[in-house]
Structure 1
Amino acid sequence: MTTRESMQYDVVIVGAGPAGLSAAIRLKQLAAESGRDVSVCVLEKGSEVGAHILSGAVVDPRGLDELIPDWKARGAPLTTPVTENHHWVLTGRRRFRIPEFLLPPLMHNRGNYTLSLGNLCRWLAAQAEELGVEIFPGFAAAEILFHDDGSVKGVATGDLGIARDGSHRSDYHPGMELHARYTFFAEGARGHLTKRLTEIFGLRDESGPQVFGLGIKELWDVPAERHKPGRVIHTQGWPLDEAWGGGFLYHQDNGQVALGFVVALDYKNPHLSPFEEMQRWKTHPAVRAEIEGGRRVSYGARAINEGGYQAIPKLAFPGGALIGCSAGFVNVPRIKGTHTAMKSGMLAAEAAFAAIGNDRSGDLLTDYETSVRSSWIAKELKLVRNAQPAVAHFGGLLGSLYAGIDMWLGTLGLKLPWTLKHKADHAQISRKEHARPISYPKPDNVLTFDRLSSVFISNTNHEEDQPVHLTLKDADIPTAINLPVFDGPEQRYCPAGVYEYVEGDAGEPRLQINAQNCVHCKTCDIKDPTQNINWVVPEGGGGPNYPNM
């Protein structure tokens, strides 16, 4: 058995997103204020900080204001304030604008900024390193380590140089163990270690299931005459008629427009393709007008937590805590989660720092749980708790009306006495004979594109000779159940062309997994109707390399 080296820290953080970096910075700030030292390490599976970060993004700076009040003087990349805020309802050929005064105040974007969240994380990482945080990009946390009493001891990074057949290549190097008094998991939506922790510690025993949307994003360089820095547009309606979701167009700096489309993963029709719906959405005259004459320069996709307050699990367990999107603090109607993720990381840091200082290392961080539930995170999410499930229960039109009335009542200090529940996304899909086939138009390679050319500009790469990180619990289920019963939905819900059914040697169908294409969106792990696909981490540094997403 290979012996792994180990390193000891006070706090190890898995994931260099907004939550993980905010936790690291806050720990070091507290250490400096108190004159006590605290050692902090951040692991990031991407090749660099920001490589796997994908978001719209319009950011509420509230969390940043609390963490680094002088962020403007320090050169934070929030340089494009929102100047226009539009909400459109689309039909096949027309758009109808909802006047802003009809929208609940929380839907307004005054004081917010549109930017690349990846670039914000790169800036946060620089602030953290100045304070003494050790950040290790390209090192993926592959395994949770436990003490004899069952509490979390830390994590181990994945071995490097493992061939596809499991043998050791000439460049083999064992992973490293990182031990900590506390380990924070900030993996983002549907983290593979978070999923395991949820099972071990029963973190969802008292909450409903988490539900998700799939966000697909493109970045376009547009002609100067079409670019309006700070212009923010959200759409709902067409082309979706059998699912819920909507689009966004954010005019950011450098002559670029970030546009994307989100499809809630509770859709029923197995023939639906979120990627194709996004491409079709761009052909609407109102959407086309924002980017026509431009050039697509980047592409990516990521699952988004949509469960809201009632889907937040237990946040603390012996030896660690969930922060950011590992727990799920996205405000769905606002389409924002960066500020809440940052605040959760700060609150976890404060609880862990106090515990370490009082020699309570490894104790359950009940103070973190309590502080989140009493913070402005909870207040904000409680206000919108019924929005997403209302749409899921009553459909787009009635659900939106219900959600709007509910949010207006909350704004006025009134509160409906009930909370709607969620159903797991994978359980919502219908048998193929009960669903309408969907015919999507072919791409024109000017405005609309195919998946493989899209993956190419995401700069996705994995070492080919390594174990496939998209694992099947039972290799027979795809052809025994998924294909005959659901028409193989994995070949459509994946936005990267990872899954395809091909003809085997004897003429029978078989599922081919093109793991090289995977953009780490986690949709397969979420939507697979038989829950047979288990996403595990590939070698560190693999996956997309988003430059400005």
Structure 2
Amino acid sequence: MQRESMEFDVVIVGAGPAGLSCAIRLAQQAQEQQQECTICVVEKGSEVGAHILSGAVFEPRALNELIPDWQERGAPLTTPVVKDDIMLFRNANDASRLPGFMVPKTFHNQGNYITSMGNLCRWLAEQAEQLGVEIFPGFPAADIIIEDEQVKGIITGDMGLDRHGEPKPSFEPGMELRATYTVFAEGCRGHLGKRLQQHFNLSADKSPQHYAIGFKEIWDIPAEQHQPGLVVHTTGWPLDGDGTGGGYLYHAEDGQVYVGLIVDLNYRNPYLNPFGEFQKFKTHPEIAKVLTNGKRVTYGARAITKGGFYSLPKMTFPGGVLVGCNAGTLNFAKIKGNHTAMKSGMLAAESIFSALQQETAPASLDDFAQRFEQSWLYDELYRSRNFGPAIHKFGTMLGGAYNTLDQNWFGGKLPFTIKDETPDYQMLRKASECQPIEYPKPDNKLTFDRLSSVFLSNTNHEEEQPCHLKLTDAAIPLTVNLPQYAEPAQRYCPAGVYEIVEENGESVFKVNAQNCIHCKTCDIKDPSQNITWVTPEGTGGPNYPNM
């Protein structure tokens, strides 16, 4: 197929905090050195921020380095954290606040801000464009250009194919965006990053990556229930048996709160429904008293990369680098990945710009590893290296006690190595060994169903296009996953994409790709590893206004 081609010094895949920070730092260096550096950022969302979903309590450390005068420039960080509460939910009705000495100091948020990362990314994009960076929203990176075992850029997705992959009258082939260096900042479980790790064997001798699914809703609440700057984190109920994770409630600006639940994807019971657990969470009196008489504004969900230090792949390969959550730089001990993603992008920019100065470019990016190991990012991830594995190995209470001791008394330097070597998808038990879980019907006041929730995410896909949720073997859902695991895709998907229906007296595994909110949970948790998420046609997916 004949494709148009464009040449750049650097192509960056993904306009999230890592990709935009990389672009800004590259452009800053080019400006400082008075050298030309052509930089292109492609983003699969309809606009920058459309696919960004994060809690978020934001630590400004990396932003202070990248744009020291961010306050004067109007960055949307206006709600500083004024109070932290850590609560143990003992059951559906009882809760207690944990005293400070029982809380890992990584959970303290003095100096941080409650913010919308979608809006912060929109602001970062403005800063990048002022420096001459070209940003192309609505252009998903669908394929990688690899020639002579070196990455030479990406190919954007074809537009105007029907569901059988045949061109429609509106067909437009994707473009080749060629680059000396390509940065992959796709976020958690990026489909190109996944392929690069396999192709270049980047995860050899590393622990498997681990994940969670994070839910978030934004609510408008009555003024008397609103406490701007209050951050509440919870542990325990409803995840006190079949799964681990925790909840959050952040009092943001303009009378809004962000409420959510993080469910680790190493859960064992195939009947567990993460969306259902989130709905239950909101009925706890400590949460319900804040949300009652409020109005739900929007909903979303996204997988979270949480394997930490021991799961980090080799980030560089010939012609490029993985950054941010695509590599797994989130610090789960802080429940934060935005500042670490930004720093990884900045380090990549410095390594790339140095390489571009070499007469023999494209030079190796091997110095990235040294830059990384000498940075505060490496130190932060190293000090938190045992946090996730300890929770997985010992459970929430004992793992939490270990982490409090390690972080508060030893600064993350206890001389122990705790690793989790079992991939999340292998953790499911057979359905015959587990107890089914019944979830209450939604009351449409605090709790809701999945389809009405997806509606609030503004999700849309062109219906007449190839399905972007690829089944390696179309028979496996009914012949393997259903008899062995009660086909958990019906429950782990937060958007109701997968269902088993009766057609002409036979069971059929139906994929409602139109509903997909791009969380990637199916790609991660399917016990047969039979589902592969790839990019749909440009602009498809959620359109989050301020998540």
Give the TM-score taking structure 2 as reference length.
0.98
Tell me, yes or no, if the aligned pair for 2:218 and 2:256 is still in contact at 8 Å. yes
Which amino acid in 1 is paired with 2:376? W
Tell me, yes or no, if the aligned pair for 1:182 and 1:361 is still in contact at 8 Å. no
Tell me, yes or no, if the aligned pair for 1:491 and 1:499 is still in contact at 8 Å. yes
Alignment of 1:213-292 (within 5 A): 213-240=212-239, 241-292=241-292
Query: Among 530, 533, 537, which residue is 2:531 paired with?
Result: 533
Pairwise CA distance, 1:102: 3.5
Residue by residue, what CA displacement relative to the aligned partner does 1:57-77 show, whole Å, maximum 9, x if unpaired?
000000100000000000000
Cα distance in 2, alignment partners of residues 512 and 258 from structure 1: 32
Tell me, yes or no, if the aligned pair for 2:356 and 2:363 is still in contact at 8 Å. no
Alignment of 1:158-197 (within 5 A): 158-197=157-196
Look up the match of 2:25.
Answer: 26
Cα distance in 2, alignment partners of residues 21 and 254 from structure 1: 27
Look up the match of 1:206.
Answer: 205
Secondary structure of the structure 1 residue equivalent to 2:79: coil
Secondary structure of the structure 2 residue equivalent to 1:254: coil
Residue by residue, what CA displacement relative to the aligned partner does 1:369-415 show, whole Å, maximum 9, x if unpaired?
2211221111111111111111111112111112221222432x742
Look up the match of 2:139.
Answer: 139
Cα distance in 1, alignment partners of residues 402 and 508 from structure 2: 45
Give the TM-score taking structure 1 as reference length.
0.98
Tell me, yes or no, if the aligned pair for 1:84 and 1:232 is still in contact at 8 Å. yes
Residue by residue, what CA displacement relative to the aligned partner does 1:70-96 show, whole Å, maximum 9, x if unpaired?
000000001000011010000221111
Cα distance in 2, alignment partners of residues 360 and 68 from structure 1: 31
Change (3 A) 1:279 1:374: same
Look up the match of 1:151.
Answer: 150
Tell me, yes or no, if the aligned pair for 1:518 and 1:543 is still in contact at 8 Å. yes
Look up the match of 1:464.
Answer: 463
Tell me, yes or no, if the aligned pair for 2:390 and 2:418 is still in contact at 8 Å. no
Tell me, yes or no, if the aligned pair for 1:249 and 1:259 is still in contact at 8 Å. yes
Which amino acid in 1 is paired with 2:363? D
Alignment of 1:425-440 (within 5 A): 425-440=424-439
Residue by residue, what CA displacement relative to the aligned partner does 1:514-537 show, whole Å, maximum 9, x if unpaired?
000000000000000000000010
Secondary structure of the structure 2 residue equivalent to 1:152: strand
Secondary structure of the structure 2 residue equivalent to 1:497: coil
Look up the match of 2:356.
Answer: 356
Look up the match of 1:372.
Answer: 372
Cα distance in 1, alignment partners of residues 248 and 416 from structure 2: 32
Secondary structure of the structure 1 residue equivalent to 2:500: strand
Look up the match of 1:330.
Answer: 330
Alignment of 1:405-484 (within 5 A): 405-411=405-411, 414-484=413-483
Residue by residue, what CA displacement relative to the aligned partner does 1:446-487 show, whole Å, maximum 9, x if unpaired?
110000000000000000000000010001101010001000
Tell me, yes or no, if the aligned pair for 1:307 and 1:422 is still in contact at 8 Å. no
Look up the match of 1:382.
Answer: 382
Cα distance in 1, alignment partners of residues 420 and 333 from structure 2: 17
Ranges in structure 2 where 5+ consecutive residues have no aligned partner = none
Residue by residue, what CA displacement relative to the aligned partner does 1:396-444 show, whole Å, maximum 9, x if unpaired?
2111112221222432x74223242332100000100111110000000
Tell me, yes or no, if the aligned pair for 1:86 and 1:100 is still in contact at 8 Å. no
Secondary structure of the structure 2 residue equivalent to 1:395: helix
Which amino acid in 1 is paired with 2:28? Q
Tell me, yes or no, if the aligned pair for 1:406 and 1:416 is still in contact at 8 Å. no
Tell me, yes or no, if the aligned pair for 1:323 and 1:341 is still in contact at 8 Å. yes
Cα distance in 1, alignment partners of residues 290 and 430 from structure 2: 38
Residue by residue, what CA displacement relative to the aligned partner does 1:5-28 show, whole Å, maximum 9, x if unpaired?
000000000000000000000000
Tell me, yes or no, if the aligned pair for 1:499 and 1:512 is still in contact at 8 Å. yes
Secondary structure of the structure 2 residue equivalent to 1:87: strand
Cα distance in 2, alignment partners of residues 360 and 256 from structure 1: 53
Secondary structure of the structure 1 residue equivalent to 2:499: strand
Secondary structure of the structure 2 residue equivalent to 1:154: strand
Tell me, yes or no, if the aligned pair for 1:118 and 1:548 is still in contact at 8 Å. yes
Residue by residue, what CA displacement relative to the aligned partner does 1:472-511 show, whole Å, maximum 9, x if unpaired?
0001101010001000100000000000001133x22121
Pairwise CA distance, 1:251: 0.6
Residue by residue, what CA displacement relative to the aligned partner does 1:230-270 show, whole Å, maximum 9, x if unpaired?
11000010011210001000011111100110000000000
| Percent identity for Structure 1 against Structure 2 | 57
Ranges in structure 1 where 5+ consecutive residues have no aligned partner = none
Secondary structure of the structure 1 residue equivalent to 2:447: coil
Look up the match of 2:308.
Answer: 308
